[in-house]
């Protein structure tokens, strides 16, 4: 084991309160076609406090979805979790047996995916699927379960919930399906919901409705939320803190306003500058090049080959330092205190 | 400026599963759509899924045959053209699709894909075509050796560059761009958008830009039409339409865009679908039309 990074990791929730979820130095590798293993998630650490929303932002291949799957141990071969800890309720989930793990999934951690058809079974009605979850976790059966289903569908503002409970997923519109999946995710009253691109496949007006709903559910159920998205606009409206991922690593982590208004890492700056809409009629500020494929990342800073501010130091792997109090960054431009 | 493309009262009906003797129920995907595109401009056609924007784009090139209406390209009626003449006109009217992966033949090398339109139209000999492909690759920012590689060897952004090179092979004057960058990550999307802007300037191209990303439409379009339920509900200069939307649906659409400067709930205007009426467009300000 390598010694822990000397620089202070400062973006932590309130002092003395144990976070709801703590991810420490998580590493998940994938076996490549040539037999080598390469990290898709490389030493990722963050915490989520009770009631807090963390936005995990990155482009495709950044490792944000693999991070989510690793938290609930749903990584499948050729992927493999090789290191780190994921602590919820004081337990490291990597120490649990599969039966204990199943009670964490759903009961403590709910899932909302981009495509509802991943989570919803096409051959069962919405109501039957929620009733099954209630039964699995011994929360309600029979008439009580039916009443709970209708309450949940009503809570996610599905009109005529008593009729919709008997509908099959394909009979609902995209927006209603997403609401049904949120109801399913909330049915076992989890403390944390992991939402992986929950609005990416939706039209902009439906997206706005679903984000409003997630905000309301967060308050009503006192939820913590890990919101995974590529859209910084979605994060701006939802997250308390933001972690930016690039090539398997978190390169910046800070309160949302700090990331959006005072981005520290050159990648975050580039990402914000490349977003359209700010200055109509002009060229966009693109980031040169592309994300290197997994398995051919540079040894040092993974962003260095595309970085306008790279220098000699970037050939080595940068540690986490503080760009400002509570604002962590992985970049040699910020030597920090103890680095 | 003169109109390069004029679309008048375009209608496209789809009939669902009918039988031999009875037609199924008819869905009007495009309902009396009228607009024109000036030479050199970028005209944005926006709307949510099912609004009819993609069907409209395909009807213009007769990739789908419209039910009725008029499409005039350089003052010639595209819908009345016999096949031979249509083929000649299509040289000037090309389409770029969202997913270049599905529009490129996976077994064909990139160079051959780009040369294919030249072969079909019997333009040049082998040597001339190779030279043209090299020029096109250079134009879209791909290395010369890319011609020998297969589509799966390229990233999404590079594949869209190949799609563009292929669309440009016949030196078209109008490109119908159907969600050309929506499958790309934002940093790569910006590169391809900049390429589109460069190409427009260098080659004097006119764009019909079909997109759902309103932030991007605001960035690059000179005029915008908003479609809803097969109809254009608002049309005008981009700055005017974004700053002073006149139709309730446009207001709902624009106020739903996620914003970097708003934390928490957006201050949205909701649109009551039941209030929708099939009204004709009327001019609410100079060049700004709305179905109100």
Domain layout of chain B by residue ranges: 3-92+172-290
Structure confidence at residue B100 (pLDDT) = 65
Instruction: Please report which confidence band the pLDDT of residue A5 belongs to, taking 50, 70 and 90 as the band edges.
Output: very low
In a domain, A167, yes or no: yes
Give the closest-approach CA distance of B219 to chain A in angstroms. Answer: 4
**A289: nearest CA partner in chain B:** B188
Residues A209 and A319 in one domain: yes
**A240: nearest CA partner in chain B:** B263
Within 8 A by CB and 6+ apart from A281, the residues are B219, B220
In a domain, A41, yes or no: no
Residues A321 and A173 in one domain: no
- Are A123 and A60 in contact by the 8 Å Cβ rule? The answer is no
- The 10s digit of each residue's pLDDT in A101-110 is 988 998 999 9
**A211: nearest CA partner in chain B:** B265
A97 pLDDT above the threshold of 50: yes
Residues from chain B contacting residue A305 (CB–CB below 8 Å): none
- DSSP label at residue A105: B
Instruction: Please report which confidence band the pLDDT of residue A201 belongs to, taking 50, 70 and 90 as the band edges.
Output: confident
Residues A163 and A312 in one domain: no
Q: What is the widest separation between alpha-carbon atoms in chain B?
A: 61
Superfamily, domain B3-92+172-290: P-loop containing nucleotide triphosphate hydrolases (3.40.50.300)
Structure confidence at residue B20 (pLDDT) = 67
- DSSP label at residue B262: -
Which of A189, A210, A240 is where one domain is finished? A189
Which of A170, A189, A208 is where one domain is finished? A189
- Are B138 and B115 in contact by the 8 Å Cβ rule? The answer is no
Measured CA to CA, the distance from residue A174 to residue A180 in angstroms comes to: 10
Measured CA to CA, the distance from residue A40 to residue A22 in angstroms comes to: 19
Residue by residue, pLDDT tens for chain B (292 residues) are 579 999 999 999 998 766 666 767 889 999 999 999 999 999 999 999 999 999 999 999 999 999 999 999 999 999 999 999 999 999 999 999 887 667 788 899 999 999 999 999 999 999 999 999 999 999 999 998 999 999 988 988 999 999 999 999 999 999 999 999 988 988 889 999 999 999 999 999 999 999 999 999 999 999 999 999 999 999 999 999 999 999 999 999 999 999 998 888 999 999 999 999 999 999 999 999 999 9
Which of A189, A221, A244 is where one domain is finished? A189
Domain that holds residue A135: 117-189
> Which backbone phi and psi does B203 adopt, to 5 degrees?
-105, 0
Integer CA distances (angstroms), A75 to A9, A32, A46, A78, in order: 27, 15, 19, 9
Please, what is the end-to-end C-alpha distance for chain A in angstroms?
19
In a domain, A339, yes or no: no
Residues A214 and A124 in one domain: no
Residues from chain A contacting residue B187 (CB–CB below 8 Å): 59, 270-271, 274, 286-287
**A199: nearest CA partner in chain B:** B258
Residues from chain B contacting residue A283 (CB–CB below 8 Å): 193-194, 197
Structure confidence at residue B102 (pLDDT) = 73
Instruction: Please report which confidence band the pLDDT of residue A2 belongs to, taking 50, 70 and 90 as the band edges.
Output: very low
Interface with A, mutate which of B99, B187, B261, B271 (most A CBs under 10 A): B187
Measured CA to CA, the distance from residue A288 to residue B194 in angstroms comes to: 12
A50 pLDDT above the threshold of 90: yes
Work out how many CB contacts closer than 8 A connect A with B: 115
Structure confidence at residue A290 (pLDDT) = 84
- The 10s digit of each residue's pLDDT in B41-54 is 999 999 999 999 99
Residues A211 and A320 in one domain: yes
Look at B261 and A236 and tell me if their CB atoms are within 8 Å.
yes
Measured CA to CA, the distance from residue A150 to residue A98 in angstroms comes to: 31
A277 pLDDT above the threshold of 90: no
The shortest CB-CB distance from A59 to any of B186, B220, B261 is to: B186
Structure confidence at residue B82 (pLDDT) = 95
Judged on CB neighbours under 10 Å (0-12, 13-18, 19+), B113 is buried
Residues from chain B contacting residue A203 (CB–CB below 8 Å): 48-49, 212
Number of folded domains that form chain A = 2
Give the closest-approach CA distance of B194 to chain A in angstroms. Answer: 6
- Asked if the interface predicted TM-score (ipTM) of this complex is over 0.95, the answer is no
Residues from chain B contacting residue A247 (CB–CB below 8 Å): none
In a domain, A40, yes or no: no
Residues from chain A contacting residue B257 (CB–CB below 8 Å): 204, 233, 277
Within 8 A by CB and 6+ apart from A294, the residues are A30, A32, A38, A39, A40, A61, A248
In a domain, A90, yes or no: no
Look at A276 and B216 and tell me if their CB atoms are within 8 Å.
yes
A residues 251-270 closer than 8 Å to B (CB): 256-257, 260, 270
Structure confidence at residue A279 (pLDDT) = 84
Look at B197 and A283 and tell me if their CB atoms are within 8 Å.
yes
Look at A257 and B259 and tell me if their CB atoms are within 8 Å.
no
């Amino acid at each position: 084991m390598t010694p822990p990074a000397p620089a202070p990791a400062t973006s932590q929730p309130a002092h003395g309160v144990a976070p709801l979820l703590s991810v420490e130095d998580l590493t998940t590798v994938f076996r490549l076609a040539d037999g080598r293993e390469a990290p898709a998630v490389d030493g990722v650490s963050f915490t989520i406090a009770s009631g807090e929303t963390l936005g995990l932002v990155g482009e495709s291949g950044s490792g944000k979805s693999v991070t989510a799957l690793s938290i609930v141990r749903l990584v499948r071969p050729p992927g493999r979790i090789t290191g780190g800890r994921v602590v919820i309720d004081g337990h490291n989930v990597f120490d649990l047996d599969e039966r204990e793990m199943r009670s964490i999934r759903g009961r403590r951690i709910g899932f909302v995916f981009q495509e509802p058809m991943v989570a919803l079974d096409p051959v069962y009605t919405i109501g039957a699927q929620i009733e099954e979850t209630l039964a699995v976790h011994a929360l309600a059966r029979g008439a009580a379960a039916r009443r709970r289903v209708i309450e949940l569908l009503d809570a996610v503002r599905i009109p005529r919930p008593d009729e919709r409970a008997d509908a099959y997923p394909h009979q609902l519109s995209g927006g209603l399906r997403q609401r049904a999946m949120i109801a399913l995710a909330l049915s076992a009253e989890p403390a944390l919901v992991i939402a992986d691109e929950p609005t990416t496949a939706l039209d902009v007006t439906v997206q706005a409705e679903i984000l409003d709903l997630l905000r309301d559910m967060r308050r009503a159920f006192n939820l913590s939320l890990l919101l995974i998205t590529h859209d910084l606009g979605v994060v701006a409206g939802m997250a308390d803190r933001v972690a930016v991922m690039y090539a398997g690593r978190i390169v910046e982590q800070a309160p949302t306003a700090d990331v959006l208004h005072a981005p520290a890492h050159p990648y975050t700056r580039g990402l914000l500058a490349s977003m359209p809409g700010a200055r109509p009629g002009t060229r966009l500020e693109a980031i040169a090049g592309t994300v290197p494929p997994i398995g051919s990342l540079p040894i040092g800073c993974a962003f260095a080959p595309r970085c306008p501010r790279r220098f000699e130091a970037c050939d080595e792997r940068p540690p986490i330092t503080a760009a400002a109090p509570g604002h962590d960054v992985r970049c040699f431009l910020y030597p920090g205190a103890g680095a | 400026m003169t109109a390069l493309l004029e679309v008048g009262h375009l209608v496209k009906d789809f009939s669902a599963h009918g039988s031999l003797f009875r037609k199924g129920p008819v869905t009007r995907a495009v309902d009396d759509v009228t607009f024109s595109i000036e030479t050199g401009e970028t005209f944005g056609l926006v709307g949510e899924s099912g609004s009819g924007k993609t069907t409209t784009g395909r009807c213009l090139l007769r990739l789908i045959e419209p039910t009725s209406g008029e499409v005039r390209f350089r003052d010639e009626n595209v819908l009345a053209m016999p096949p031979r003449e249509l083929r000649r006109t299509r040289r000037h009217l090309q389409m770029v699709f969202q997913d270049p992966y599905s529009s490129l033949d996976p077994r064909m090398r990139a160079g051959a894909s780009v040369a294919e339109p030249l072969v079909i139209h019997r333009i040049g000999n082998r040597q001339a075509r190779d030279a043209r492909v090299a020029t096109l690759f250079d134009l879209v920012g791909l290395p010369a050796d890319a011609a020998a590689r297969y589509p799966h060897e390229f990233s999404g952004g590079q594949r869209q560059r190949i799609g563009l090179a292929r669309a440009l092979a016949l030196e078209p004057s109008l490109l119908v761009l159907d969600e050309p960058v929506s499958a790309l990550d934002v940093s790569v999307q910006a590169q391809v958008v900049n390429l589109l802007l460069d190409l427009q300037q260098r080659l004097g191209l006119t764009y019909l830009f079909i997109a759902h990303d309103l932030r991007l439409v605001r960035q690059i379009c000179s005029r915008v039409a908003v479609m809803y339920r097969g109809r254009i509900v608002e049309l005008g200069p981009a700055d005017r339409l974004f700053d002073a939307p006149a139709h309730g649906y446009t207001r709902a659409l624009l106020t739903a865009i996620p914003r970097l400067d708003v934390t928490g709930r957006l201050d949205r205007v909701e649109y009551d679908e039941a209030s929708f009426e099939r009204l004709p467009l009327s001019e609410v300000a100079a060049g700004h039309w709305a179905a109100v």
